[in-house]
């Protein structure tokens, strides 16, 4: 009798949940007893600019996942190595000590992540350990939404139309996994210190799948039916704030879609377009992941549109620092940057406004901004962050046309008309009335520490347009 049966190792990465987890579901169907693992790779995280707040959020959620797995009889082992290069050897050693014959994991699409998985697959197969990777991060797998000739879409609208045509409706989610007899293998302690890369702002998102799902349903009940009307106003909670959970996979996009589908079953006049608008955001998420997978250069610090590499990007550290710290003298930009620093999150409209201000009005290389966002966002997510930055800088696929440069003052007047959001994050301006708060009077700059605008918005806009035009 074999006392040590073959085990399947389920390797968790950016999919920290047990519900609707494609690899976990497939591993449980295979029938071997399951062991789980998570790899801590602090050097790699630093290299990838993972923010301290995101690392801490991962830690909080990992504790919840460990308990959930234990309740299912599955021990969570922790592998700690500096970077991806050391993973194949570390995984091999874990597999040998626990008699693992199969590794199941959900695919990640960054260039380094794909290299890591290919390397693991090749090295472990030499020891007769099979690695299987599954598509799970998207609703529709990268490479499956294509034009009639099989080529990938590079423009969002036709992609989204095809995506909707291909979507199984109602959308399905994976069935729950069964509880297995508890294995005699001990779960590992999770060392908190590896997740404390630096001090971070307090985290307002409670950890765990149950909390994430509660937030999803609360959003569906309270705000989904008026999403389109309210999503651009940063002073209110008009969007779902689910991005931190989606970024590390505590929630799946299919779960979100299913809740949206359920909401669509019971709507009043006019609500359909509000819900469809939210679904569209989930499609943007899929779109950028497809782009990341199919055009690896975007995760190698390259512009999607190669010709934009010729732009005379500026590398002025002082100007960049003023943007980073919310000292540009443009109230809505400063409020947004301070929101990022104080909370680890920024409203979508303001991500566009601040990114465009940096890349157009200051003409600073969008990669500096992309990196700064990753270093501070709790929801930092390569595909969406890169996609959002390249959209704003007009260097990306289906990016904003270069001549459509947002005027941040007008954006503030439009989406924060009563200045509530600015007042929340820029106390120096709290006393100003609703008109002045967007364009403070000149005497304010001599009376307080708040700086005068660092750039003339009209002239800098024209200059940026000229530079882009010269590329044509």
Ligand X SMILES: Cc1cc2nc3c(=O)[nH]c(=O)nc-3n(C[C@H](O)[C@H](O)[C@H](O)COP(=O)(O)OP(=O)(O)OC[C@H]3O[C@@H](n4cnc5c(N)ncnc54)[C@H](O)[C@@H]3O)c2cc1C
Q: Which residues are catalytic?
A: 281, 284, 313, 348, 366, 389
286: annotated binding-site residue? yes
- Binding ligand X (rule: CB under 6 A), the pick from 351, 367, 438, 461 is 351
Could you say whether residue 419 binds ligand X (CB under 6 A)?
Answer: no
Any known ligand binding at 282? yes
Q: How far is the CB of 227 from ligand X (least distance, A)?
A: 7
* 392 in a known ligand binding site: no
User: Does the annotation place 156 within a ligand binding site?
Assistant: no
Name 354's Cβ contacts closer than 8 Å, sequence gap at least 6: 323, 333, 336, 337, 346, 369
* One residue of 108, 209, 293, 379 binding ligand X per CB under 6 A: 379
Minimum CB separation from ligand X for residue 204, in Å? Answer: 13
Least distance from ligand X to the Cβ atom of residue 64, Å:
19
430 annotated as a binding-site residue = no
Q: Provide CB contacts within 8 A for 188, sequence distance 6+.
A: 75, 76, 77, 78
Return d(Cα 216, Cα 213) in angstroms, integer. Answer: 5
Does position 407 interact with ligand X (CB under 6 A)? The reply is no
DSSP letter (8 states) at residue 237: -
DSSP-assigned letter for residue 364: B
**56 closest CA partner among 245, 230, 203:** 203
Q: How far is the CB of 284 from ligand X (least distance, A)?
A: 4
Cβ neighbourhood burial of 146 (10 Å; 0-12, 13-18, 19+): middle
In the bound state with ligand X, the residue whose beta carbon lies nearer, of 124 and 352, is 352
Q: Is 283 a known ligand-binding residue? A: yes
Tell me the CA distances in angstroms from 123 to 7, 82, 118, 127, 135, one per residue in order.
18, 18, 9, 7, 22
Residues sharing a CB contact under 8 Å with residue 149, sequence separation 6 or more, in sequence order: none
The answer to whether 283 and 158 are in contact (CB under 8 A) is: no
**Backbone φ, ψ for residue 130 (5° rounding):** -85, 130
Count interface residues toward ligand X (CB under 6 A). 28
Q: Which is nearer to ligand X, 45 or 288 (CB)?
A: 288
Nearer to ligand X by C-beta: 104 or 288?
A: 288
Question: Among residue numbers 271 through 330, which ones bind ligand X (CB under 6 A)?
Answer: 281-282, 284-285, 288
Query: What minimum distance in Å lies between the beta carbon of 212 and ligand X?
Result: 11
Q: Which lies closer to ligand X via its Cβ, residue 103 or residue 346?
A: 346
The nearer residue to ligand X, 34 or 350, going by C-beta atoms, is 350
Sequence-separated contacts (24+) of 461-469 with Cβ below 8 Å? 461/360, 461/361, 461/405, 461/407, 463/363, 464/360, 464/361, 464/363, 464/402, 464/405, 465/402, 465/403, 465/405, 467/311, 467/312, 467/363, 468/308, 468/311, 468/394, 468/402, 468/403, 469/402
| Residue 59 binds ligand X (CB under 6 A) | no
Helix spans in 72-155 (H) = 87-98, 111-125
Stretch that binds ligand X, among 67-75, 302-310, 383-391, 419-427 (CB under 6 A): 383-391
Question: Applying CB under 6 A, which of residues 42, 88, 331, 388 lies at the interface with ligand X?
Answer: 388
Minimum CB distance to ligand X, residue 350 (Å):
9
Q: Of the listed pieces 85-93, 130-138, 376-384, 394-402, which binds ligand X according to CB under 6 A?
A: 376-384
285 is known to lie in a ligand binding site: yes
Q: Report 106-165 residues binding ligand X (CB under 6 A).
A: none
Nearer to ligand X, 120 or 311 (CB): 311
Does 45 bind ligand X (CB under 6 A)? Our answer is no
**Ramachandran area for residue 150 (φ above 0: left; ψ -120 to 50: alpha; else beta):** left
Q: Which residue, 66 or 240, is less far from ligand X as judged by CB?
A: 240
Which residue of 18, 259, 355, 362 would you call a contact of ligand X, by CB under 6 A? 355
| Inter-axis angle of helices 366-376 and 317-324, nearest 10 | 40
Range in contact with ligand X (rule: CB under 6 A) among 22-30, 177-185, 381-389, 423-431: 381-389
Q: Cα–Cα distance between 243 and 345 in angstroms, integer?
A: 9
Q: How far apart (Å, rounded) are the C-alpha atoms in residues 330 and 124?
A: 54
The answer to whether 163 is annotated as binding is: no
Would you tell me how many other CB atoms lie within 10 Å of the CB of residue 244?
A: 26
Q: Which of residues 229-258 bind ligand X (CB under 6 A)?
A: 231, 239-243, 246-247
Instruction: Answer yes or no: is 240 a known binding residue.
Output: yes
- Contact partners, residue 235, CB within 8 Å, separation at least 6: 416, 418, 420, 421, 424
Which residue positions form the known binding site?
227, 239-243, 278, 281-288
Residues that bind ligand X (CB under 6 A): 231, 239-243, 246-247, 281-282, 284-285, 288, 348, 351-352, 355, 373, 377, 379-381, 384-385, 387-389, 392
Annotated binding site for FAD: 227, 239-243, 278, 281-288
């Amino acid at each position: 009798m074999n006392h040590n049966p073959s085990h399947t190792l389920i390797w968790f990465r950016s999919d920290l949940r047990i519900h609707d987890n494609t690899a976990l579901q497939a591993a449980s169907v295979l029938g071997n007893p399951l062991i789980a693992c998570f790899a801590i790779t602090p050097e790699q995280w630093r290299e990838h600019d993972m923010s301290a707040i995101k690392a801490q959020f991962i830690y909080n959620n990992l504790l919840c996942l460990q308990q959930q797995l234990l309740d299912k009889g599955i021990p969570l082992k922790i592998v700690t190595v500096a970077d991806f290069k050391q993973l194949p050897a570390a995984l091999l050693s874990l597999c040998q000590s626990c008699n693992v014959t199969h590794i199941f994991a959900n695919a990640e699409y960054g260039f380094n992540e794909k290299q890591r998985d290919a390397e693991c697959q090749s090295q472990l197969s030499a020891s007769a350990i099979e690695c299987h990777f599954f598509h799970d991060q998207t609703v529709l797998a990268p490479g499956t939404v294509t034009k009639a000739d099989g080529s990938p879409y590079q423009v969002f609208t036709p992609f989204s139309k095809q995506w909707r045509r291909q979507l199984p409706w109602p959308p399905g989610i994976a069935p729950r996994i069964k509880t297995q007899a508890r294995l005699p293998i001990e779960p590992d302690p999770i060392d908190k210190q590896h997740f404390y890369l630096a001090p971070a702002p307090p985290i307002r998102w409670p950890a765990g799948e149950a909390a994430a799902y509660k937030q999803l349903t609360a959003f569906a009940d309270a705000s989904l039916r008026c999403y389109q009307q309210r999503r651009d106003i940063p002073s209110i909670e008009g969007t779902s704030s689910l991005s931190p959970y989606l970024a590390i996979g505590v929630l799946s996009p299919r779960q979100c879609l299913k809740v949206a589908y359920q909401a669509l079953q019971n709507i009043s006049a006019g609500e359909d377009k509000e819900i469809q608008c939210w679904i569209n955001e989930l499609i943007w998420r899929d779109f950028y992941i497809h782009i990341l997978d199919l055009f690896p250069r975007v995760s190698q610090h390259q512009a999607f549109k190669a010709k934009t590499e010729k732009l005379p990007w500026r590398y002025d550290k002082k100007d960049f620092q003023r943007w980073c710290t919310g000292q540009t003298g443009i109230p809505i930009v400063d409020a947004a940057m301070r929101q990022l620093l104080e909370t680890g999150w920024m409203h979508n409209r303001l991500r566009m406004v601040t990114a465009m201000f940096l890349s157009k009005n200051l003409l600073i290389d969008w990669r500096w901004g992309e990196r700064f966002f990753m270093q501070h966002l709790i929801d930092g997510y390569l595909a969406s962050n890169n996609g959002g930055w390249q959209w704003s800088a007009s260097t990306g696929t289906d990016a904003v046309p270069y001549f459509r440069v947002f005027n941040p003052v007008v954006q503030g007047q439009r989406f924060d008309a009563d200045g509530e959001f600015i007042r929340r994050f820029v106390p120096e301006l709290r006393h100003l009335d609703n008109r002045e708060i967007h364009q403070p009077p000149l005497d304010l700059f001599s009376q307080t520490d708040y700086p005068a605008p660092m750039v003339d918005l009209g002239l800098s806009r024209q200059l940026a347009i000229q530079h882009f035009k010269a590329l044509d």
